[in-house]
Structure 1
């Protein structure tokens, strides 16, 4: 993402990184890594969001969403993931293409449209990349999951979901990993090298940075 990341993208990121936990404090570095922006950009934006009453910033500890900030994030996440689902399941778009177009449409979709779209799609619970879709009442309690990087060497894992990031979604499509696929962590290459995964027939390599944003079933 570029330095021109919107306020709502920051709110969405804080909610996603918190796993829906209102008390979980998210650091500036976590947000910067997730959005691929500089820490100074994060500090500047959080100051604006705090002034607007949408976040609470505790110096040296992190940031949490206020109730207005959480509602804004949930509304945008709900809209985005339903539009993604429509693109992937009804239009035949790749997950990355569906995500890209949802980014351009989700801010302008009103509640009537989003609710009608949810009904048309038969009330899906998860987005095409495995993330929970808030319902019409903005209920949102995602499962607590580990990241791929947290898996142990030799452990066999099933991929549950990918975080909402265009570059990551394009990356997993390029290396050929899909939701629901099962892999064994064969090894980690030295000097912070990639994870080597095998399914018994094929081997692939996943960078450790990408592994921070790929979630596995517990």
Structure 2
């Protein structure tokens, strides 16, 4: 168990995925200054269940991802942060916002890769790429259908979960996965359901 500064957001951060933030609210500017002063420049990211990102008072999900700052810039008026998703965490207790959110968290176990899952991973990739291609016909997507994935199959599995064109509640469910097989299976299920909603 450890205490982490927390950044509730309107989106889900997955392990091995980049995070780009424009920080301008005072409480988070203070948080970033504290994070950068610490030995490890990390903070937790969770999805907001209800409420808004600005002003506080939001309700937050209890599962998230540790983000490690990799790049920082400070144009006039805000701080630009680039971070990388690392390990998953579970929130055990929300602490007082002092002045920013913070929580006692525990690290969740890494999902173990088994080479027998290669056919399932390949199927998940086909389903996600097809969904991205179809979704791009209706709205602009943050990820192209031909986006390159990691050669590490475990990393690629998390990348598929992150780029699948599904909603944040489905993404939280994916983040909760207790095995690599469960993650890939659910990626296929929620992505196929999303594809059906596109009218395929």
Higher relative contact order (CA 8 A, sep 6+): 2
Fold match (TM-score > 0.5): no
Q: Which has the higher strand share?
A: 2
**TM-score bucket (shorter structure):** under 0.3
TM-score between the two structures when normalised by the length of structure 1? 0.20
Q: Which has the higher helix share?
A: 1
TM-score between the two structures when normalised by the length of structure 2? 0.21
